Each structure stands twice: as structure tokens, then as C-alpha cells.
Structure 1
């Protein structure tokens, strides 16, 4: 998969990785808070066997630019997704898949740009809204325990705070330790100021969800300690054409916890559009 970049509306350079058949349906992967385009692990490669997979580094993360301000503006996040679609010449038929915070980003895009370029949406361990007292934006116990320590510039304090996530991103299996460490490393590599800035905004995309004219798939673990399953249920109940798959006992990173099931359910949805 080749690294490419696109210039967003506010001048931020957004880096992404593209691979898979050029004539296949585009599948745009938007990672979560304090992660990067490598978070998907082998799931991205599996999906690239069938789809044109585009894994994005969100602004402030990975190889993308790290602007000093602007993380509280939904139009910036929306513009980032629009820039990547434009750079790849995608005008219709795309599937947007957001994990965790990535679900907010794709919702920002849908609010600003509509569904003209999009055939379907997947929310996995995600929410569409953010902010205190905003519906569908509850914070899980692992995140509550990690904040505010994860905003610390002190490496020692930040590492201890991230420890509150435990196995949340990979599930309890001992064989996922390498993946867990990779994700912890990505989190620590994200600048502390960015980690903090992403939480200091309030967005309610509920009306966008209610007006969607495309199918939506919601994947969510019932034991997710980062983004509570109530947020996934909120999306499923708001969207007119929603399909929900709630994984009993699963946690936050479904694409790592049970990669074959994740790839199968996403593939079945995308191929049904």
C-alpha cells in the first residue's frame, strides 16, 4: 500500500495509505483518538484483497500535519475527508468506516458534504457525537480513568494513564500483546496537545444521522470500556437504514480482537450496497 497525501481546505497536509484493486469499491478507514493509519493491522490488508482501501492519518496524528489550532472545528475534519476523496478522484460509491473518534470525523464529513460521494457508512466501537450532555456521546470507564493523565507531557505520567486502557483495544487474548504495544506506541507518539484538543469540542450530528439516505452498519462490543455500547445503539436507533451487530463480550478494537469476523461483516455490508 502506497503512502500519498492531500491538502485540506485549511492548508493541513493529510497523509493516507492506499492499496487494493484500483477499480474496486473505495473503503476509507478513519482511525480513532491518538492512533494512526497503521492501527488496523492485518485487517486493512485483508480488506484490500476485495476493496480499494484508503487508510487515513487524521490531522495531528501519524504522518499528517500537526496544526496548532483548529481541532474544535468540525469543518476542518470534514475538509480532511473531502480532500482525500478528491485526491483519489472518488465522486461516488465510497464506504466510510470510522473507529472510535473516527466515527465523529466521518459524521462531521456527512454533515458538511452530504452523501453524494458515499454509498454506505460503518461505525465500529464508535460514536457520532462528542461533548458533555450531548446525546450518544457517553465516555467509557477506561477513558474516564485515563483522563487527564493521557494529556500529560510527562512521559512517565502519560504511560501510567494509558495503562488504564489495558486490553481494551485488543481484547483479553494473550496473543494480541504485540498489537497492544503497537497501539500504545501510536498513542504516545501523538502529541499531548493534540490528545487534549480532540476532547475540547462539542458536536451533535444527530440530525445528520436521522436524515441519512444511505445504509449504515454499526459494529460494537457489548463490553467496550472506551466507547460504551449505548453510543452504538444511539446511532443505530437514529439512522433510518441501520444494521447493527453487537458483539457479546467484545471490547473496543474489534478489527484486532476478532479480525476474521470484522473483515467478513464489513465485506458483506460493502458488497451489499
Structure 2
């Protein structure tokens, strides 16, 4: 594993970790709101790195990446971050995998830079649009309950909101065995500055037309009990995508790779290994 840093178009440092053989197909992981590249868990990353060049990115404002004062409402800025990572790793034929808000970042990239270097997309509990009335951005009860407390600068208010929200990330797998994982995910959320947690929602963009015209294979992975991003958001995206494959996990929550990392890896591998 190597840790590297590149600069986005506005000069923001973007940090990422790379695993596996550099000559293997790139699998670029983009995490969700108020998380980091650590959310995936090193065992899963190392498992996938046995087959692919796994690149786990800290989105701007998260993890070890820079947290500028603005730019979170600009899709060109998000797109430039992903582009900088792909260029640094000389990626061609890459698969972009986005969890939750990471799905929106993938759409930002595709809208600005197109599909030339991309072989496929995996959307995991993902939103593809954001803003009032956007079907691709419909959130569930856990996300609604977290707002606005999760954006508060008062540590007691934020901690309570984020801890309750965190239950949806671990879901049915929450137990004594997954306690350390739940704490790590909570730590990721608390480490994300409150102003960044808030800024990520201060934008409105629809990507339905982008999805309708997307000539790429896309795997849509979603839990039927997801209380962060409503299942209907995944169904909406799948209905628009010309080359969509779906895997809906019955009774699963938002963090599929936490609930069942082996099944998650199997779904991803099954999809990626069919790509040209």
C-alpha cells in the first residue's frame, strides 16, 4: 500500500491510498458524506487488490485531503479531483465505485470529462442527483433525522446526531464484533469539519439526462432497508441507465461492505470481470 497526494484544479491536496499491482485494472473507490477512504476497511481493500489496482480516495474536505473554504457546490471542482487521481495513476479502463455521495461525485466526473478512460461504474447506496424533487437524490429517515444536528459546531449535538446516523452505516451487522468498525466510522464523521458536512448539501444538480445517455455498464448495489439513501433512488437510476445491472440486498442497510464484505467483494468482482 502506498499513500500519495495530488492537487485538484484549485490547488486542494487530494490524498489517496493505492493497493495492488499497478498493471491491473484500476478500481477507484469514492466514499460517502462525512467519511474517508478508511471506511472500506483494509481487509476488503487488500482482498480486492488481489485482482485490481485499488485506489481509495479521500474526497476533498474529508480524511487527509485538504478542506478549502469553498468549491463544494462546483461540479467541475469535484471532477478535477477525480481526474487528478486518474492522471497520477495513469489510469485507463478504470472502474469508478461510489458509495452514497460518492455516486454524485462520479456523475460530476462523467459530466465534465466523459467516459474515455472509464470501463464501468459501480453505485453503492448512491445518490446520482441532489436537490429538492430530485428522484435520484431521495434520502431516507436516518439522513433526515441527522439534519441539522450532524452539521452543528456544538460537539454534544453533533456527536448525538452522528452516532445515531452511524447505526445505519453498520446496519444489521452492528454487534460487539463490529463495535470497532462503528467507532471508526463515527471517528471519520467527527473528523470531517462541520462546515464541510453542511456544504456538501448546499448544492442542487440533476443528472437524469446524463444517466440516460451513459453508454457504460453500471452495477447498482443497494440495500432494501437503506435508511440513508432511499431504495427508490437506486431504482430511479437503474430505470434510466441503458446498461444497468442491479443487486438489491434484502433487508440490508446503507453500509453493504460493512454488513457483508465478502458478498460485497463477490458482487463487485462478478461485475468488473465481465468488462472488456
In the alignment, the residues of structure 2 paired with residue 99 and residue 8 of structure 1 have an alpha-carbon distance, to the nearest angstrom, of: 21
Give the equivalent residue in structure 2 for 1:182. Answer: 184
Give the equivalent residue in structure 2 for 1:160. Answer: 160
What does the per-residue CA deviation read over 1:59-95, in whole Å, with 9 as the maximum and x for residues that have no partner?
00011011000100011111100010011111x2000
1:143/1:164 contact within 8 Å kept: no
TM-score (normalizing by structure 2): 0.97
Q: Secondary structure at the match of 1:251?
A: coil
Q: Secondary structure at the match of 1:204?
A: coil
Give the equivalent residue in structure 1 for 2:6. Answer: 6
Give the equivalent residue in structure 1 for 2:257. Answer: 255
1:15 corresponds to 2:15: yes
Question: 1:102-121 maps to which residues of 2 (within 5 A)?
Answer: 102-121=102-121
What does the per-residue CA deviation read over 1:81-110, in whole Å, with 9 as the maximum and x for residues that have no partner?
0010011111x2000000000000011101
Q: Secondary structure at the match of 1:170?
A: helix
1:265 corresponds to 2:267: yes
What does the per-residue CA deviation read over 1:181-229, in whole Å, with 9 as the maximum and x for residues that have no partner?
1000100000000000000100111111111111000000000000111
In the alignment, the residues of structure 1 paired with residue 168 and residue 59 of structure 2 have an alpha-carbon distance, to the nearest angstrom, of: 21
In the alignment, the residues of structure 1 paired with residue 187 and residue 168 of structure 2 have an alpha-carbon distance, to the nearest angstrom, of: 15
Cα RMSD for the two superposed structures: 0.8
In the alignment, the residues of structure 2 paired with residue 221 and residue 172 of structure 1 have an alpha-carbon distance, to the nearest angstrom, of: 11
Give the equivalent residue in structure 1 for 2:96. Answer: 96
In the alignment, the residues of structure 1 paired with residue 181 and residue 232 of structure 2 have an alpha-carbon distance, to the nearest angstrom, of: 26
Pair 1:211–1:219, CA change in 2 (3 A):
same
1:74 corresponds to 2:75: yes
In the alignment, the residues of structure 2 paired with residue 181 and residue 77 of structure 1 have an alpha-carbon distance, to the nearest angstrom, of: 28
In the alignment, the residues of structure 2 paired with residue 13 and residue 156 of structure 1 have an alpha-carbon distance, to the nearest angstrom, of: 30
In the alignment, the residues of structure 1 paired with residue 190 and residue 46 of structure 2 have an alpha-carbon distance, to the nearest angstrom, of: 24
Q: Secondary structure at the match of 2:135?
A: coil
In the alignment, the residues of structure 1 paired with residue 162 and residue 187 of structure 2 have an alpha-carbon distance, to the nearest angstrom, of: 10
Give the equivalent residue in structure 2 for 1:49. Answer: 50
Q: Secondary structure at the match of 1:64?
A: coil
1:31/1:100 contact within 8 Å kept: yes
Number of equivalences: 272
Deviating beyond 4 angstroms after TM superposition, the runs of 4 or more aligned structure 1 residues are none
Q: Secondary structure at the match of 1:38?
A: helix
Give the equivalent residue in structure 1 for 2:237. Answer: 235
Give the equivalent residue in structure 2 for 1:59. Answer: 60
Cα deviation for residue 172 of structure 1 reads 2.3
Give ranges in structure 1 of 5+ residues lacking alignment: none
Q: Secondary structure at the match of 1:136?
A: helix
Cα deviation for residue 46 of structure 1 reads 1.1
Cα deviation for residue 43 of structure 1 reads 1.5
In the alignment, the residues of structure 2 paired with residue 45 and residue 37 of structure 1 have an alpha-carbon distance, to the nearest angstrom, of: 13
What does the per-residue CA deviation read over 1:127-186, in whole Å, with 9 as the maximum and x for residues that have no partner?
111111122111110011110000111111101111332521112231221111100010
In the alignment, the residues of structure 2 paired with residue 188 and residue 106 of structure 1 have an alpha-carbon distance, to the nearest angstrom, of: 24
Give the equivalent residue in structure 2 for 1:83. Answer: 84
1:43/1:256 contact within 8 Å kept: no
Give ranges in structure 2 of 5+ residues lacking alignment: none
